[in-house]
Amino acid sequence: MSAQLEPKRQEFHGGCPHDCPDTCSMVFEVEDGKLVGVRGNKEHPMTRGGLCVKLNDYEKRHYHVDRVLYPLRRTGPKGSKQFERISWDEALDEITAKWKAIIQEYGPQAIIPYSYLGHQGLVHGLNGGDAFFNRLGATVCERTFCGEGSCTAWLLTVGPTAGVDPESYLHSKYIVLWACNSVSTNLHHWHIVHDAKKKGAKVVVIDAYKSKTAKQADWHICPKPGTDGALAMALINSIIDQGLVDKDYVEKYTVGYKELAERARTRTPEWAEKITGVSAEDIRTLARDLATQQPVAIRMGVALERHYGGGQTIRAVTCISALTGAWRHVGGGVTQFPVWEHPYKFDVICRPDWIPDETRVVSNLQIGRALTGETPLDPPIMSMMCWNSNPVTQAPEADKIVAGLMREDLILCGYHVTCVHGRRD
């Protein structure tokens, strides 16, 4: 009897495919051509071998029974979860035929694409279909989920420049994590913050609840949800009132100081205390620290923009580092991680020059209104191609989205790694 050969195990290096500020460096273990395990790459200087809970069992999800590997056609009523497998040629032919019919009757704007970052990255997920749908003349679906308000506010206030490099926080003496639960959602930056803390840096967390990060901070400031803008304006007021403005930096490198000072004149700590629940004394102490404990770094989380007036909140927070001259120092300033920092040529990928004149735009946050007709559209949306995003769980007004997707006359096409019920593949 011949000896049984031991299975051959290989290791491959890669990166996490999910949408996250970190992009963990990963090691994939493959045995006889099958993925059998994943682990973090301990040799990577930034991610240091760590993986979040979404990645620890990646090999199980890779082969999960619910993964969609082939085109499926719905065979029963919407929502019945009844599908049959069809070939790729059949799927493409059916979609093409239905879209041609829609375009002939209603025009191309009756078709709308719907996508976001998900797990396929900027090129394939976020922008993968833009050139095609722009050339088609479809309705433009404006992606305003995450960072759009923040990025716009950053450009208006700071300009087209990057924020503080995450690794520079090692040189910070005072770190503010504002609406950012780093331990749970930005864990590899937390390693750097923790290293700075061990060197003597003070870590302040501003968050509306006691997160895991807040529990490890030196000081947790807990404003009422959605009141961060009032807190930021009171800090500006207090920095000016205490005579802590870096006048040399402001005069050389900023514009609009007089207008900002006038705007903040009545936004006193006492005014903010009634709104935020943070004591006036704590606001003054934080203002003094932000101005005198340089280098001071502020890491803003996307939660800062997730409420009415969120863009203005971002603008107010970014003004603080300019008033105190924090940008002078290594490890001083603000970090925001705007998408436009990525070295992609978006105009080449997306081809906005192919969008026909007068093409309408629908916000992905209001897709439910568009599908149900609450927002009057002429022509109506008759087909939606959805990929790399699940609007029912990710967009507001889920009840309206479900009602719109349940329309019998709506042709819904999508591709996902797991089944999205009620779709037509």
Is 221 strand, coil or helix? Answer: strand
For residue 301, the number of C-alpha atoms closer than 13 Å in the C-beta half-sphere is: 24
Q: Please report, for the chain, the start and end positions of each structural domain, with discontinuous segments joined by +.
A: 9-62, 72-145+343-415, 148-337
Lowest-confidence pick of 23-27, 89-93, 136-140, 202-206: 23-27
Confirm if 13 and 26 have CB atoms less than 8 A apart. yes
Query: Which DSSP letter does residue 80 get?
Result: S
- Tens-place pLDDT, residues 162-193: 899 999 999 999 999 999 999 988 888 999 99
Q: For position 56, what pLDDT does the model report?
A: 80
CATH of domain 9-62: 2.20.25.90
Cα gap 110→314, rounded to integer Å: 36
Q: How many helices (H) and strands (E) does the chain have?
A: 17, 15
- 100: which residues sit within 8 A by CB, 6+ positions away? none
Q: Could you tell me what percent of the chain has a pLDDT over 70?
A: 93
b/e sequence 148-180, b meaning 16+ C-beta within 10 Å: bbbbbbbeebbeeeebbebebbbbbbbbbbbbb
* Mean pLDDT for the stretch of residues 281-296: 98
Q: How far apart are CA 301 and CA 186, in angstroms?
A: 9
* SS3 track for 395-414: CCCHHHHHHHHCCCCCEEEE
What angle do the packed helices 310-324 and 148-157 form, to 10 degrees? Answer: 40
**How high is the mean pLDDT of the chain?**
90
pLDDT at 52: 81
Q: What CA–CA distance (Å, rounded) separates 411 from 425?
A: 10
Pairing of strands 219-221, 202-206: parallel
Task: Report which secondary-structure segment, H or E, holds 318.
Answer: helix 310-324
Nearest to 261 by CA among 276, 250, 249, 274: 250
Degrees (nearest 5) of the Cα angle 340, 336, 53? 100
What whole-number distance in Å separates Cα of residue 128 and Cα of residue 398? Answer: 25
pLDDT of residue 418: 45
> Quick one: pLDDT at residue 19?
74
Q: How far is CA 222 from the centre of its chain?
A: 23
**Judging by DSSP bridges, how do beta strands 25-31 and 34-40 pair with one another?**
antiparallel
Asked if the 72-145+343-415 domain carries CATH number 3.40.50.740, the reply is yes
Rounded to 5 degrees, what are φ and ψ at 308?
-60, 130
**pLDDT of 95 strictly over 90:** yes
| Predicted local distance difference test score (pLDDT) of residue 279 | 98
Please report the pLDDT score of residue 216 as a whole number.
95
- The pLDDT of residue 343: 67
pLDDT in the model for residue 244:
98
C-alpha span between 422 and 159 (Å, rounded): 44
Residue 90 clears pLDDT 60, i.e. is over it: yes
Is the per-residue pLDDT at 421 higher than 50? no
Q: CB–CB of 203/175 below 8 Å?
A: yes
**Cis before 223? omega within 30:** no
> Which runs of E-coded beta strand occur in 195-328?
202-206, 219-221, 296-300
Antiparallel, parallel or unpaired: β 140-142 and 111-115:
unpaired
The residues, ordered by sequence, that sit 6+ positions from 253 with a Cβ below 8 Å of its Cβ are 322, 327
Q: What is the pLDDT of residues 344-383, one digit of tens each?
A: 787 888 899 999 999 999 999 999 999 999 999 999 999 9
Q: With 60 as the cut, is the pLDDT of residue 406 above it?
A: yes
- pLDDT-derived band at 419, boundaries 50, 70, 90: very low
Q: What angle do CA 273, 274, 277 make, to 5 degrees?
A: 60
Enumerate the H helices of 14-87 as residue ranges. Answer: 58-62
Strand duo 9-15 + 83-85: pairing: unpaired
Mean pLDDT of 275-301: 97
What CATH class is the domain 148-337?
A: alpha beta
For 106-118, how does the pLDDT look when each residue is reduced to its tens digit (9 = 90+)? 999 999 999 887 7
